[in-house]
């Protein structure tokens, strides 16, 4: 491809709207352009890389027996009503009516469609197991689009679905997908961390996320420095910490705490650490008031709480709801609450004794609050957020560390969540009907492309791994009006292409500085430069994008040198 003909242009300045490294570089290099919030056009360079990522995904899915299909983006809403997700999913799901006034949705995922397809096709156990996959456009009316391709409203996703006769067969197949995912990400130049994850709106009995650890990530990842335990913070747990308890539980004592409503203010006023206080947090769970009590130095994990309460309608309670139940904000306590208020306690209330808690009246707290003080506290569960330095739940000496990560992919053991809702059965050898078991496996393709750039870049631009680079090499001609040099470069361009290499040829009438800056910005694996200076040195200059070293190759052997260097950098 001649750069003079490329439908793209580079930016010299950093785009003001760029929120992450990948967002900035994709815009600067002329690879994507925004159409609206969270909606992007892929220009030629980015699309070539996207296709290479898709090719890797297809190879690995085919290797484990996947069969590619393509399902519609526009779905009859009745399928989503069957599973209950038409009502349970919020405004992220785009709903509309067609010209015949039938309710429709734009698919943000395809469980309903593929399950409907399965119930039409599966008759016998002899058809099981099998796995289908697709790479398709998805629509999600994301309220917080950010980071360029990291969180968007329209995106490409590889989603795969496996169908099994029993759970044992799903358990055997699941590790094959896990291993295929590791190969996909490694072939793209990434080192993924597989973490235990919350199943969310997908449901099922278990799942793993594959995370790329980078500062720009929007997910918090927890891992152990000893045994390899890893989890998304939404799902992570820890072992009971070492905590100095008092020798015995003391009698409750009311103390004045004028104008001290926050945990920090109360702890400082009474001269105790926040770990010796009890924090009250109120939630509106589908219209019902839930009082959460947790140790003062620990935050509530709302994902865990929502899962325990079996609700997705979870928000902090407003003052009107508190007033309705006679709750005094800032001084609330689980003691003497009305029966209409459900109490859920974090397990941390058992990690100590003689805590400070609210007294349920303005300006007062209770010293020596203990779990035994209130027999109504029966729901004691893990709803706390794990912190750096907490003890690993899996091993004796492990310490947990927190970091930021980008989710590359997510795999689920769905079980019968969708086949129950949509009545998908098969006949066994005895003619008996049995429920089909499902697995689900997704990868965000554009997000994966962005993650590669977040990992592979420097201050000058992208550093593409060859496996996903839009072109293998960047050929630069510094002919300065020399017809002979121009002719030699044209000849080399043809030879490189004839050797099967993908070449981006900078044939523009620009200064060397502009050409070299653009080459660094585009980030192709190898830069090949032909100039009067290089010929005086003995041939052509060869420079890997990831290195500062320059090698001179004889002009008549340049193609062989280029192939050898590129083959040594190939991740495939």
Strand, helix or coil for residue 273: coil
Compute CA distances 320 → 279, 284, 358, 407, whole Å: 20, 11, 20, 38
Question: Residue 2: inside a domain, yes or no?
Answer: no
Considering the domain architecture, whether residues 352 and 407 belong to the same structural domain is answered as no
* Residues 479, 436 share a domain: no
If asked whether residues 165 and 53 sit together in one domain, one would say: yes
Residue among 547, 542, 539 nearest 565 (CA) = 542
The pLDDT-based confidence of 282 (bands split at 50, 70, 90) is very high
Cα(407)–Cα(221) distance, integer angstroms: 10
Percent of the chain exceeding pLDDT 70 equals 98
Q: Would you state the pLDDT for residue 45?
A: 98
Q: Are residues 351 and 423 in the same domain?
A: no
pLDDT at 201: 47
Highest mean pLDDT among 45-59, 224-238, 288-302, 477-491: 45-59
Taking the C-alpha atoms of residue 372 and residue 294, their distance in angstroms, rounded to an integer, is: 15
More confident residue, 351 or 525: 525
What pLDDT, in 10s, does the model give residues 155-194?
Answer: 999 999 999 999 999 999 999 999 999 999 999 999 999 9
Question: pLDDT tens digits, residue range 463-516?
Answer: 999 999 999 999 999 976 788 899 999 999 999 999 999 999 999 989 999 999
User: Across the beta sheet with 551-553, what order do the strands follow?
Assistant: 503-506, 473-478, 526-531, 540-544, 551-553
Owning domain of residue 365: 253-381
pLDDT tens-place string over residues 243-275:
667 888 889 899 999 988 889 999 999 999 998
Give CA–CA dist 568/67, Å, rounded.
Answer: 32
Average pLDDT over residues 342-355: 90
Residue 200: pLDDT band (50, 70, 90) is low
DSSP readout, 459-486? TTEE---GGG-SSSEEEEEE-TT-HHHH
Span 301-307, average pLDDT: 91
Q: In the structure encoding, which two tokens stand for residue 3, read together?
A: 């750069």
- Could you tell me if residue 69 is inside a domain? yes
Residue 329's pLDDT is 79
3-state DSSP helix/strand/coil % of the chain, to nearest 5: 30, 30, 40
**Is residue 140 classed as helix, strand or coil in its secondary structure?**
coil
User: Does residue 70 sit in the same domain as residue 179?
Assistant: yes
pLDDT for the residue numbered 428:
92
pLDDT of residue 102: 97
Does 359 lie in the same domain as 418? no
pLDDT at 202: 46
Element containing residue 402 per DSSP (H, E): strand 400-415
Residue 261 sits in the same domain as residue 349: yes
CATH of the domain at 324: 3.90.960.10
For residue 370, being part of any structural domain is answered with: yes
Which tens digit of pLDDT belongs to each residue from 94-136? 999 999 999 999 999 999 999 999 999 999 999 999 999 999 9
Residue 103 lies in a domain: no
Are 436 and 318 found together in one domain? no
CB 149 within 8 A of CB 156: no
Give 338's DSSP letter.
-
Q: Is residue 462 assigned to a domain?
A: no
Lowest-confidence pick of 43-47, 488-492, 504-508, 534-538 = 534-538
The answer to the question of residue 41 being in a domain is yes
Is residue 127 included in any domain, yes or no?
A: yes
CB contact at 8 A, 261 and 371? no
| Residue found under tokens 């720009």 | 216
Whether residues 322 and 261 share a domain: the answer is yes
Strands 473-478 and 355-358: unpaired
Please tell me what DSSP assigns to residue 361: S
The predicted structure's pLDDT at residue 198: 66
Q: Helix H segments across 251-370?
A: 263-270, 302-309, 319-324
Number of structural domains found in the chain: 3
- What confidence score (pLDDT) does residue 18 get? 92
Q: What is the mean pLDDT of residues 83-102?
A: 94
Structure confidence at residue 243 (pLDDT) = 67
Quote the pLDDT of residue 204.
55
Phi-psi region of 355 (alpha: psi -120 to 50; beta: other; left: phi over 0): beta
404: pLDDT strictly greater than 90: yes
Same domain, 565 and 433: no
Which of 381, 416, 431 is the last residue before a domain boundary?
381
Short-list 264, 283, 284, CA closest to 273:
264
Same domain (yes/no): 301, 430: no
The residue among 107, 170, 168, 111 whose CA lies nearest residue 140 is 107
Residues 239 and 393: their CA atoms lie apart, in Å, by 5
**358-370: average pLDDT:** 89
Q: Residue 504 belongs to a domain with what CATH number?
A: 3.40.50.800
448 shares its domain with 475: no
Q: How confident is the model at residue 432 (pLDDT cuts 50, 70, 90)?
A: very high
What pTM does this model have? 0.87
Domain membership of residue 319 (yes or no) is yes
Give the list of residues 6+ apart from residue 556 with CB closer than 8 angstroms, or none.
none
Last residue of a domain, one of 320, 350, 381: 381
Residue 176 sits in a domain of what CATH number?
Answer: 3.30.930.10
């Amino acid at each position: 491809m001649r750069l003079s003909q490329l439908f793209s242009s580079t930016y010299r300045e950093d785009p003001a709207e760029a929120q992450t490294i990948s967002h900035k570089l994709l815009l600067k290099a002329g690879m994507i352009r925004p159409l609206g919030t969270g909606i992007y056009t892929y220009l030629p360079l980015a699309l070539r890389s996207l296709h290479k990522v898709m090719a890797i995904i297809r190879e690995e899915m085919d290797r484990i027996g996947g069969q590619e299909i393509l399902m519609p983006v526009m779905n009859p809403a009745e399928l989503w009503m069957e599973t209950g997700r038409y009502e349970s999913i919020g405004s992220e799901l785009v709903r509309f009516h067609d010209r015949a006034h039938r309710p429709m949705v734009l698919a943000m995922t395809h469980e309903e469609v593929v399950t409907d397809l399965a119930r039409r096709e599966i008759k016998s156990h002899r058809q099981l197991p099998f796995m289908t996959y697709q790479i398709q456009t998805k629509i999600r009316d994301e309220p917080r689009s950010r980071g360029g391709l990291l969180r968007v409203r329209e995106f490409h996703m590889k989603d795969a679905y496996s169908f099994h006769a029993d759970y044992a067969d799903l358990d055997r197949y699941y590790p094959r997908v896990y291993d295929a995912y590791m190969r996909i990400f490694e072939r793209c130049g990434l080192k993924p961390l597989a973490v235990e994850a919350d199943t969310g709106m997908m449901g099922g009995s278990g799942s793993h996320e594959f995370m790329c650890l980078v500062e720009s990530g929007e997910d918090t990842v927890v891992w152990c420095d000893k045994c390899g335990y890893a989890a998304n913070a939404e799902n992570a747990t820890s072992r009971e910490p070492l905590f100095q308890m008092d020798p015995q539980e003391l009698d409750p004592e009311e103390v004045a705490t004028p104008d001290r409503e926050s945990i920090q203010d109360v702890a400082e006023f009474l001269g105790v650490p926040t770990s010796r206080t009890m924090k009250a947090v109120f939630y509106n769970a589908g219209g019902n008031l839930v009082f959460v009590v947790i140790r003062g130095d620990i935050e509530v994990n709302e994902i865990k709480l929502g899962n325990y309460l079996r609700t997705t309608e979870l928000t902090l309670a407003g003052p009107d709801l508190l007033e309705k139940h006679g709750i005094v904000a800032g001084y609330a306590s689980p003691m003497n609450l009305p029966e209409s208020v459900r109490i859920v306690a974090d397990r941390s209330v058992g990690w100590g004794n003689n805590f400070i808690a609210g007294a349920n009246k303005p300006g007062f707290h209770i010293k020596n609050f203990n779990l035994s003080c209130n027999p109504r506290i029966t729901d004691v569960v893990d709803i706390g957020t794990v912190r750096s330095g907490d003890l690993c739940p899996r091993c004796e000496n492990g310490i947990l560390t927190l970091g930021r990560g980008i989710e590359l992919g997510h795999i689920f053991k769905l079980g019968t969540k969708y086949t129950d809702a949509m009545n998908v059965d098969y006949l066994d050898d005895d003619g008996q009907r049995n429920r089909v078991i499902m697995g689900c496996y997704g990868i965000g393709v554009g997000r994966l492309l962005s993650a590669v750039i977040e990992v592979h870049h420097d201050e000058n631009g992208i550093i593409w791994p060859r496996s996903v680079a839009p072109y293998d090499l960047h050929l630069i001609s510094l002919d300065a009006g020399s017809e002979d040099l121009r002719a030699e470069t044209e000849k080399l361009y043809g030879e490189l292409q004839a050797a099967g290499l993908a070449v981006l040829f900078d044939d523009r009438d620009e200064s060397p500085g502009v050409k070299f800056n653009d080459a660094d910005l585009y980030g192709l694996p190898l830069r090949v430069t032909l100039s009067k200076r290089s010929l005086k040195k003995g041939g052509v200059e060869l420079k890997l994008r990831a290195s500062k070293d320059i090698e001179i190759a004889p002009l008549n052997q340049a193609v062989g040198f280029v192939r050898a260097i590129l083959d040594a950098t190939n991740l495939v």
